[in-house]
Structure 1
Amino acid sequence: MTDRSVLLQAFDTLLEPGRFRDYGPNGLQVEGKAAIGKIVSGVTASRALIEAAIAVDADAIFVHHGLFWRGHDGRVTGWMKQRLALLLAHDINLFAYHLPLDAHPVLGNNAQLGAKLGLKPQGTFGEQNLGVIGEAADGRAFADANELSAHVGQVLGRAVTCVDSGSGPIRRIAWCTGGAQGYFESAIAAGAQAFVTGEISEPQAHYARECGVSFLACGHHATERYGAPAVAAHVAGELGIAHEFIDIDNPA
């Protein structure tokens, strides 16, 4: 067992939330029991994840997408009431880290996605240096965007939306997990030949074709499945408590 305050300090020390301008509060979002013996990690603090954590007797939940975001009106009704009611009734702590979890250079979403895809980071770009740029760890170049897309799809186990710029072989690849389509122009400026992220909006298809840089939208959830379990497992191991990752399917 470990104390809630010790667990919070471990997460804060590792992820350094004070370094980031974020869209919501990082750290302990819902206070539960003081003594923690098991933590469940997941991508989003959905009702399904909370229910799954209750079923395995978790004392705490660690996620990337918490409950509270800038712009929410603060009323506890509907889905918010249902989630909070479950957490409070079962005295479960909720820890959430957004941009700090994306950015950790070894255990974060971007680092873990790059490792899964066999990419070697060589630099960062974009706002708060959240984007990563590099090359394949084995030094190879992908023949074109379609070959890269097939590789990413196979690793992630899902279809990829690919806008092929038609510019030929791809060596320099930029990536940023989740809804980072707004980083595309920064990736282009950083010298990328392809950009891998979770989502695509209407303008990015035009930028890809006009700038000669391919764009791959691989799923918001699909690209952000790896940071939360990596961080939670690391901290749980340090503190000698149990950890379990529960992946709630999400087509987004």
Structure 2
Amino acid sequence: MATLANILNWCDQTLKTAEFKDYAPNGLQIEGKPEIKKIMCAVTASLDAIEACIQQKADVLLVHHGYFWKGEAAAITGMRGQRIKKLIQHDISLIAYHLPLDAHPEYGNNASIAELLNLTQLEALDPTEKHPIGNIGYLEQPLSIEAFQQLLAQKFQRDIVHLPATSQTIQKVGFCTGAAQDFITKAAAQQCDAYLSGEVSERTFYEAKELGVHYFACGHHATEQFGVQRLGQALAQQFDLEYSYYELENPI
């Protein structure tokens, strides 16, 4: 039988979590039972995900967005308190990996996006980073703006927000999942034709136009639904665990 300690050790070594500075603790956030038979994955440790975990009698909830973010109040009360209470009452461990899961070259969110869009010749969006959390990839052939937006809409199954620039075709694409809209400046510095992330800010409209980089907002949840599934499936195979994924379609 798999143990919580062995699962955490494998994840920490595989994702190189000690080499990241992050906004929340990576790894074990709530400790449950020591022996693990079933793991459930979700993008975010929402109440819905926790209740699904309880219903399916999973021992671990593995997520991308966990708890204890920098700047949050320290008191475990209100909405977060109710979530944590349920996890503790049912002896369920909460494991969360944030930036390490964005950056991992096999299981990561960005690696998943590259495969989804068939982007090749991957490079670091920021060459100064030891483990880049953003990447650059190339389409096999240039696409029109409309064709690229249609490709994104098809792959992510949602409407895509496009903030225009002047170029008429796209081939060199910068990308970083989630709320990384401000990395458009890095994409401009690397002379990308387009940059995509999850969310969008009011200022991004002007940045896209003035920096000359088309911006595509594909959804925070939509761009970060892949990494946790890949990691969960890898754990299931490595430790012979039951595995499930909980999807609560978040339009943001």
CA distance in 1, matches of 2:12, 2:245: 20
Residue 89 to residue 198, structure 1, CA distance change in 2 (3 Å): same
CA distance in 1, matches of 2:69, 2:212: 35
CA distance in 1, matches of 2:31, 2:121: 36
Question: Would the aligned equivalents of 2:187 and 2:213 in 1 still touch at CA under 8 Å?
Answer: no
Moved more, 120-129 or 9-18: 120-129
- Secondary structure of 1:249's counterpart equals coil
Question: What's the CA shift for 1:166?
Answer: 3.0
- Secondary structure of 1:105's counterpart equals coil
2:43 is aligned with 1:40: no
Q: 2:137 aligns with which of 117, 134, 139?
A: 134
Aligned to 2:219: 219
- Secondary structure of 2:143's counterpart equals coil
- Secondary structure of 1:234's counterpart equals helix
Aligned to 2:192: 192
**What is the letter of the counterpart of residue 134 of structure 2?**
G
Question: What's the CA shift for 1:201?
Answer: 1.1
Residue by residue over 1:17-36, the C-alpha shift from the partner in whole angstroms, topping out at 9 and shown as x without a partner, is 11111001000000000110
Aligned to 2:160: 160
- Secondary structure of 1:70's counterpart equals coil
1:229-240 paired onto structure 2 within 5 Å = 229-240=229-240
Which stretches in structure 1 are left out of the alignment for 5+ residues? Answer: none
**What is the letter of the counterpart of residue 123 of structure 2?**
G
2:116 is aligned with 1:116: yes
Question: Would the aligned equivalents of 2:197 and 2:219 in 1 still touch at CA under 8 Å?
Answer: yes
Relative to the length of structure 2, the TM-score reads 0.96
Question: What's the CA shift for 1:121?
Answer: 4.5
Quote the sequence identity (%): 38
CA distance in 1, matches of 2:166, 2:246: 39
CA distance in 2, matches of 1:154, 1:106: 23
**What is the letter of the counterpart of residue 193 of structure 2?**
Q
Question: Would the aligned equivalents of 1:40 and 1:246 in 2 still touch at CA under 8 Å?
Answer: yes
Question: Would the aligned equivalents of 1:114 and 1:121 in 2 still touch at CA under 8 Å?
Answer: no
Question: What's the CA shift for 1:10?
Answer: 1.0
Residue by residue over 1:87-113, the C-alpha shift from the partner in whole angstroms, topping out at 9 and shown as x without a partner, is 011100100010000000111011011
Which stretches in structure 2 are left out of the alignment for 5+ residues? Answer: none
Relative to the length of structure 1, the TM-score reads 0.96
CA distance in 1, matches of 2:137, 2:72: 36
**What is the letter of the counterpart of residue 133 of structure 1?**
I
**What is the letter of the counterpart of residue 202 of structure 1?**
E
Moved more, 32-41 or 109-118: 109-118
Question: What's the CA shift for 1:183?
Answer: 0.7
Question: Would the aligned equivalents of 1:163 and 1:208 in 2 still touch at CA under 8 Å?
Answer: yes
Aligned to 1:101: 101
Moved more, 99-108 or 126-135: 126-135
Question: What's the CA shift for 1:235?
Answer: 1.7
CA distance in 2, matches of 1:212, 1:26: 36
Question: What's the CA shift for 1:211?
Answer: 2.3
Residue by residue over 1:1-43, the C-alpha shift from the partner in whole angstroms, topping out at 9 and shown as x without a partner, is 3111001101101111111110010000000001100000110
Aligned to 1:210: 210
Residue by residue over 1:121-161, the C-alpha shift from the partner in whole angstroms, topping out at 9 and shown as x without a partner, is 4201237321100112xx121112x2211110111111110
CA distance in 2, matches of 1:238, 1:250: 30
Pairwise CA RMSD: 1.1
* Deviation >6 Å, runs of 4+: none
**What is the letter of the counterpart of residue 4 of structure 1?**
L
